Amino acid sequence: MKCQQCGFDNPEALRFCGGCGAALASGCPGCGFENPAGFRFCGQCGRSLAHDVAQAPSPASEAPTAFVNGRYQVVRFLGEGGKKRVYLCHDTLLDRDVAFGLIKTEGLDDEGRQRVRREAQAMGRLGTHPHIVSVFDLGIEGDGQPYLVTEHMAGGDVEGLLEKPDDHRLSIDQAVRLVQQICRGLDFAHGNGLVHRDLKPGNVWLTADGVPKSGDFGLAVALDRSRLTRVGMMVGTVAYMPPEQALGGQITPQADLYSLGAMLYELL
């Protein structure tokens, strides 16, 4: 299959280009039909492919092969969000697969970069909990970009889980079970003085057997560029944001509970 971005001739059945990392095809979350790259709607059933397009790597970026002097060998690109660009990598030192996240800090000054590092260190200090994504390593990549290495969550995120049911809702039992487990992780984090500030389905990850773990604690505020020059700006995702956060007020652990309530409503 020829890549529309760089012209590289790829073998059949690949999802991403071996020459530039761009998406080659978009599998429909509804019917599974493999659509040509660039399709916004499925040519088989008409369903929106926006979720898959959002996961495609940026065509303008070069596809890396390794990080940290070759220790983390890139297996494939996993996805890109507002805070990170994430790759599945193999840690050659400890012989295990990990999620390698390059934290986006474009436009941040030295103070902002230090704040990102402090938040990442706070996540690392949480240690191991059954319902919080474990941080294995953090540092600065060669070009000065912060990175965060976490456990690889093979089950995807809860946002992807919501794509599977026909009505985009889970059963009551499954939704309640997920939220109970997320609560245990939040209780542990809050007890250690860490508030998530941007809890949403896309920030709750699943193990291969469906156990939820919250990730990216604190990065919503750490990456807020507006706070470098202005005070009282809202940070987070509007659909899950409590009023005090939207108004730029003081954030407490109760803010996470509001976000979790909005998330539970969506699950149901």
CA pair distance 67, 52, nearest whole angstrom: 25
Q: Which residues sit opposite 157 in a β-bridge?
A: 205
Q: Do the Cβ atoms of 232 and 182 come closer than 8 Å?
A: no
What values do phi and psi take at 219, rounded to 5? -70, -20
What distance, in Å, lies between the first and last C-alpha atoms of the chain? 40
Tokens representing residue 166 in the block:
């026909």
List the catalytic residue out of 137, 198, 216, 256: 198
Strand boundaries in 46-104, DSSP class E: 66-67, 72-80, 84-91, 96-103
Radius of gyration from C-alpha coordinates of the chain: 19
Tokens representing residue 8 in the block:
């590289």
Q: Is the dihedral of CA 64, 65, 69, 72 positive or negative?
A: positive
Q: Is 9 a catalytic residue?
A: no
The catalytic residue positions are 198
